[in-house]
A and B are shown apart, each in its own frame.
Chain A
Protein backbone atom coordinates (compact mmCIF):
# COMPACT_ATOMS: atom_id res chain seq x y z
CA UNK A 1 0.00 0.00 0.00
CA UNK A 2 2.72 2.43 1.04
CA UNK A 3 4.63 1.69 -2.16
CA UNK A 4 1.58 2.70 -4.16
CA UNK A 5 1.41 6.04 -2.41
CA UNK A 6 -1.38 5.09 -0.05
CA UNK A 7 -1.13 5.13 3.67
CA UNK A 8 -3.16 2.93 5.89
CA UNK A 9 -5.93 4.69 7.69
CA UNK A 10 -7.76 3.19 10.58
CA UNK A 11 -11.36 3.80 9.79
CA UNK A 12 -13.31 5.00 12.74
CA UNK A 13 -17.03 4.37 13.00
CA UNK A 14 -18.91 7.37 11.65
CA UNK A 15 -21.23 7.48 14.60
CA UNK A 16 -19.41 6.72 17.80
CA UNK A 17 -21.64 5.82 20.67
CA UNK A 18 -21.93 8.79 22.96
CA UNK A 19 -20.71 8.72 26.48
CA UNK A 20 -23.63 6.96 27.94
CA UNK A 21 -25.55 7.73 31.01
CA UNK A 22 -23.90 11.05 31.62
CA UNK A 23 -26.94 13.24 31.59
CA UNK A 24 -30.27 12.69 33.14
CA UNK A 25 -32.39 15.73 33.54
CA UNK A 26 -35.66 15.78 35.37
CA UNK A 27 -37.99 18.72 35.60
CA UNK A 28 -41.50 19.16 36.90
CA UNK A 29 -43.99 21.85 36.05
CA UNK A 30 -47.68 22.49 36.53
CA UNK A 31 -49.92 21.68 33.59
CA UNK A 32 -51.39 24.65 31.75
CA UNK A 33 -54.91 23.41 32.41
CA UNK A 34 -54.12 23.14 36.11
CA UNK A 35 -54.80 19.41 36.21
CA UNK A 36 -51.73 17.90 37.77
CA UNK A 37 -48.04 18.00 37.18
CA UNK A 38 -45.86 17.13 34.21
CA UNK A 39 -42.62 15.30 34.91
CA UNK A 40 -40.11 15.49 32.07
CA UNK A 41 -36.88 13.55 31.81
CA UNK A 42 -34.15 13.74 29.23
CA UNK A 43 -31.35 11.24 28.88
CA UNK A 44 -28.51 11.01 26.39
CA UNK A 45 -27.73 7.61 24.99
CA UNK A 46 -26.52 6.09 21.76
CA UNK A 47 -28.75 5.27 18.87
CA UNK A 48 -28.66 1.67 17.82
CA UNK A 49 -30.70 -1.31 16.85
CA UNK A 50 -31.01 -4.21 19.23
CA UNK A 51 -28.77 -6.28 16.95
CA UNK A 52 -25.82 -3.90 17.12
CA UNK A 53 -23.17 -4.81 19.70
CA UNK A 54 -22.79 -1.12 20.55
CA UNK A 55 -26.49 -0.61 21.05
CA UNK A 56 -27.48 0.92 24.31
CA UNK A 57 -30.88 2.05 25.28
CA UNK A 58 -32.86 2.68 28.40
CA UNK A 59 -34.74 -0.45 29.31
CA UNK A 60 -36.61 0.83 32.32
CA UNK A 61 -37.48 4.09 34.00
CA UNK A 62 -39.26 4.19 37.34
CA UNK A 63 -40.84 7.42 38.46
CA UNK A 64 -41.33 7.83 42.18
CA UNK A 65 -43.07 10.41 44.28
CA UNK A 66 -41.93 10.60 47.91
CA UNK A 67 -40.42 7.14 47.57
CA UNK A 68 -43.51 5.44 46.11
CA UNK A 69 -43.49 4.21 42.53
CA UNK A 70 -46.12 5.94 40.44
CA UNK A 71 -45.14 5.05 36.88
CA UNK A 72 -42.87 2.44 35.31
CA UNK A 73 -41.79 2.77 31.69
CA UNK A 74 -40.17 0.01 29.66
CA UNK A 75 -38.52 0.59 26.28
CA UNK A 76 -37.26 -1.46 23.40
CA UNK A 77 -34.35 -0.23 21.29
CA UNK A 78 -36.29 2.22 19.19
CA UNK A 79 -35.57 5.52 20.81
CA UNK A 80 -33.74 8.54 19.47
CA UNK A 81 -30.87 10.41 21.08
CA UNK A 82 -31.89 12.43 24.11
CA UNK A 83 -35.47 11.28 24.26
CA UNK A 84 -37.85 13.48 26.16
CA UNK A 85 -40.22 11.35 28.19
CA UNK A 86 -43.16 13.00 29.90
CA UNK A 87 -45.69 11.67 32.38
CA UNK A 88 -48.47 13.44 34.26
CA UNK A 89 -49.46 12.93 37.87
CA UNK A 90 -52.52 14.02 39.76
CA UNK A 91 -52.07 14.62 43.42
CA UNK A 92 -48.63 16.13 43.78
CA UNK A 93 -48.24 19.02 46.15
CA UNK A 94 -45.50 21.59 46.22
CA UNK A 95 -42.43 20.16 47.91
CA UNK A 96 -43.00 16.54 46.96
CA UNK A 97 -39.81 14.76 45.94
CA UNK A 98 -39.94 13.31 42.43
CA UNK A 99 -37.31 10.77 41.50
CA UNK A 100 -36.54 8.83 38.34
CA UNK A 101 -34.50 5.62 38.49
CA UNK A 102 -33.31 4.17 35.21
CA UNK A 103 -31.19 1.38 33.94
CA UNK A 104 -30.05 0.62 30.44
CA UNK A 105 -29.29 -2.41 28.32
CA UNK A 106 -25.60 -2.37 29.33
CA UNK A 107 -26.43 -2.70 32.97
CA UNK A 108 -25.69 0.92 33.88
CA UNK A 109 -28.14 2.68 36.12
CA UNK A 110 -28.66 5.92 37.94
CA UNK A 111 -31.24 8.30 39.27
CA UNK A 112 -32.15 11.95 39.44
CA UNK A 113 -34.65 13.90 41.44
CA UNK A 114 -36.41 17.21 41.65
CA UNK A 115 -38.93 18.98 43.83
CA UNK A 116 -42.51 19.49 42.74
CA UNK A 117 -43.26 23.20 42.21
Chain B
Protein backbone atom coordinates (compact mmCIF):
# COMPACT_ATOMS: atom_id res chain seq x y z
CA UNK B 1 0.00 0.00 0.00
CA UNK B 2 1.10 3.50 -0.73
CA UNK B 3 2.66 5.05 2.36
CA UNK B 4 0.91 8.40 1.89
CA UNK B 5 -2.47 6.74 1.44
CA UNK B 6 -1.93 4.64 4.55
CA UNK B 7 -0.95 7.62 6.71
CA UNK B 8 -3.78 9.74 5.38
CA UNK B 9 -6.32 6.99 6.00
CA UNK B 10 -5.13 6.37 9.54
CA UNK B 11 -5.24 10.12 10.26
CA UNK B 12 -8.84 10.38 9.08
CA UNK B 13 -9.71 7.28 11.11
CA UNK B 14 -8.18 8.76 14.25
CA UNK B 15 -10.06 12.02 13.69
CA UNK B 16 -13.38 10.23 13.24
CA UNK B 17 -12.76 8.13 16.36
CA UNK B 18 -11.95 11.27 18.38
CA UNK B 19 -15.13 13.04 17.24
CA UNK B 20 -17.20 9.95 17.90
CA UNK B 21 -15.81 9.39 21.39
CA UNK B 22 -16.33 13.04 22.32
CA UNK B 23 -19.92 12.84 21.18
CA UNK B 24 -20.37 9.69 23.23
CA UNK B 25 -19.05 11.37 26.38
CA UNK B 26 -21.30 14.38 25.82
CA UNK B 27 -24.34 12.15 25.42
CA UNK B 28 -23.47 10.22 28.57
CA UNK B 29 -23.13 13.41 30.59
CA UNK B 30 -26.40 14.71 29.24
CA UNK B 31 -28.12 11.51 30.28
CA UNK B 32 -26.56 11.73 33.73
CA UNK B 33 -27.84 15.28 34.23
CA UNK B 34 -31.34 14.75 32.88
CA UNK B 35 -34.48 13.89 34.82
CA UNK B 36 -34.82 10.12 35.39
CA UNK B 37 -38.28 10.07 33.82
CA UNK B 38 -38.52 6.29 33.50
CA UNK B 39 -37.97 5.91 37.23
CA UNK B 40 -40.55 8.58 38.06
CA UNK B 41 -43.08 6.91 35.76
CA UNK B 42 -42.49 3.46 37.26
CA UNK B 43 -45.48 1.95 39.03
CA UNK B 44 -43.59 -0.27 41.44
CA UNK B 45 -40.64 0.20 43.72
CA UNK B 46 -38.61 -2.54 42.05
CA UNK B 47 -39.22 -1.04 38.62
CA UNK B 48 -38.07 2.38 39.81
CA UNK B 49 -34.95 0.92 41.43
CA UNK B 50 -34.02 -0.90 38.24
CA UNK B 51 -34.50 2.30 36.23
CA UNK B 52 -32.33 4.27 38.64
CA UNK B 53 -29.62 1.87 39.72
CA UNK B 54 -29.93 -1.15 37.48
CA UNK B 55 -30.82 -3.45 40.35
CA UNK B 56 -33.73 -3.98 42.68
CA UNK B 57 -31.64 -5.49 45.46
CA UNK B 58 -31.38 -3.13 48.40
CA UNK B 59 -30.11 -4.37 51.73
CA UNK B 60 -31.54 -2.98 54.97
CA UNK B 61 -28.97 -0.88 56.79
CA UNK B 62 -29.19 0.47 60.34
CA UNK B 63 -26.60 3.18 59.64
CA UNK B 64 -29.12 5.17 57.63
CA UNK B 65 -31.38 7.42 59.69
CA UNK B 66 -34.82 8.34 58.44
CA UNK B 67 -36.98 10.85 60.24
CA UNK B 68 -40.68 11.06 59.38
CA UNK B 69 -43.74 11.97 61.46
CA UNK B 70 -45.74 9.05 62.90
CA UNK B 71 -49.12 10.53 62.00
CA UNK B 72 -50.13 13.15 59.47
CA UNK B 73 -53.06 14.48 57.51
CA UNK B 74 -53.42 13.77 53.81
CA UNK B 75 -53.51 17.45 52.92
CA UNK B 76 -50.30 18.33 54.74
CA UNK B 77 -46.76 18.02 53.56
CA UNK B 78 -44.53 16.04 55.85
CA UNK B 79 -40.91 16.75 56.60
CA UNK B 80 -38.73 13.83 55.57
CA UNK B 81 -35.11 13.83 56.65
CA UNK B 82 -32.41 11.32 55.76
CA UNK B 83 -28.90 11.35 57.10
CA UNK B 84 -26.12 8.86 57.52
CA UNK B 85 -22.46 8.60 58.36
CA UNK B 86 -21.87 6.44 55.28
CA UNK B 87 -18.83 7.63 53.38
CA UNK B 88 -18.97 8.60 49.72
CA UNK B 89 -22.73 8.42 49.19
CA UNK B 90 -23.68 8.70 45.53
CA UNK B 91 -27.45 8.96 45.47
CA UNK B 92 -30.59 8.92 47.59
CA UNK B 93 -34.01 7.77 46.40
CA UNK B 94 -37.14 8.36 48.46
CA UNK B 95 -39.97 5.95 47.76
CA UNK B 96 -43.57 6.21 48.95
CA UNK B 97 -44.55 2.58 48.56
CA UNK B 98 -48.35 2.83 48.38
CA UNK B 99 -48.29 5.70 45.92
CA UNK B 100 -49.26 5.18 42.30
CA UNK B 101 -45.73 6.21 41.31
CA UNK B 102 -43.52 5.25 44.26
CA UNK B 103 -40.47 7.40 43.48
CA UNK B 104 -41.07 10.80 45.07
CA UNK B 105 -37.59 12.32 45.04
CA UNK B 106 -34.17 11.41 43.75
CA UNK B 107 -30.96 13.07 44.87
CA UNK B 108 -27.68 12.73 43.03
CA UNK B 109 -24.82 13.52 45.40
CA UNK B 110 -21.59 14.55 43.74
CA UNK B 111 -19.68 16.26 46.50
CA UNK B 112 -21.91 16.37 49.52
CA UNK B 113 -22.71 14.63 52.76
CA UNK B 114 -25.36 11.96 53.06
CA UNK B 115 -27.98 14.42 54.26
CA UNK B 116 -31.24 15.40 52.63
CA UNK B 117 -34.40 16.94 53.96
CA UNK B 118 -37.55 18.01 52.15
CA UNK B 119 -41.35 18.22 52.35
CA UNK B 120 -43.47 15.60 50.61
CA UNK B 121 -47.16 14.76 50.58
CA UNK B 122 -48.55 11.32 51.26
CA UNK B 123 -52.17 10.41 50.52
CA UNK B 124 -52.52 7.12 52.41
CA UNK B 125 -50.85 5.25 55.22
CA UNK B 126 -47.67 3.98 53.66
CA UNK B 127 -44.12 2.90 54.31
CA UNK B 128 -41.55 5.46 53.24
CA UNK B 129 -38.28 3.93 52.11
CA UNK B 130 -34.95 5.69 51.74
CA UNK B 131 -32.50 3.96 49.41
CA UNK B 132 -28.91 5.16 49.54
CA UNK B 133 -26.42 4.20 46.85
CA UNK B 134 -22.97 3.68 48.37
CA UNK B 135 -19.70 2.28 47.10
CA UNK B 136 -20.73 -1.06 48.62
CA UNK B 137 -24.10 -1.17 46.90
CA UNK B 138 -27.65 -0.17 47.60
CA UNK B 139 -28.73 0.23 51.25
CA UNK B 140 -32.15 1.12 52.60
CA UNK B 141 -34.22 1.90 55.63
CA UNK B 142 -37.93 2.47 56.02
CA UNK B 143 -40.59 3.87 58.32
CA UNK B 144 -44.35 4.00 58.16
CA UNK B 145 -46.39 7.20 58.05
CA UNK B 146 -49.96 6.81 59.18
CA UNK B 147 -52.43 9.15 57.48
CA UNK B 148 -55.51 9.92 59.54
CA UNK B 149 -58.42 12.29 59.18
CA UNK B 150 -57.14 15.60 60.48
CA UNK B 151 -53.74 14.16 61.33
CA UNK B 152 -54.83 13.07 64.81
CA UNK B 153 -54.13 9.79 66.52
CA UNK B 154 -51.47 7.90 68.32
CA UNK B 155 -49.34 5.46 66.46
CA UNK B 156 -46.37 3.65 67.91
CA UNK B 157 -43.70 2.11 65.71
Q: Which residues on A are within 8 Å of B, measured CB to CB?
A: 35-36, 38, 47, 50, 59-60, 63, 65, 68-76, 78-91
Q: Is there contact, CB below 8 Å, between B115 and A88?
A: yes
Q: Which residues on B are within 8 Å of A, measured CB to CB?
A: 33, 35-36, 40, 76-77, 79, 81, 83, 96, 99, 101, 103-113, 115-122
Q: How far is the CA of A90 from the CA of B115 in the complex (A)?
A: 11
Q: Is there contact, CB below 8 Å, between A79 and B111?
A: no
Q: Is there contact, CB below 8 Å, between B121 and A87?
A: no
Q: Is there contact, CB below 8 Å, between B118 and A86?
A: yes
Pick the residue among B83, B105, B109, B121 that contacts A74 (CB under 8 A).
Answer: B105
A85 and B117 contact, Cβ closer than 8 Å, known pairs A74-B35, A74-B105, A76-B103: yes
Pick the residue among A47, A72, A82 that contacts B108 (CB under 8 A).
Answer: A72
Q: Is there contact, CB below 8 Å, between A71 and B109?
A: yes
A69 and B115 contact, Cβ closer than 8 Å, known pairs A76-B40, A79-B120, A80-B77: no
Q: Is there contact, CB below 8 Å, between B112 and A87?
A: yes
Kindly list chain B residues whose C-beta atoms are within 8 Å of the C-beta of A63: 112
Q: How far is the CA of A82 from the CA of B140 in the complex (A)?
A: 28
B84 to chain A, nearest CB (A): 11
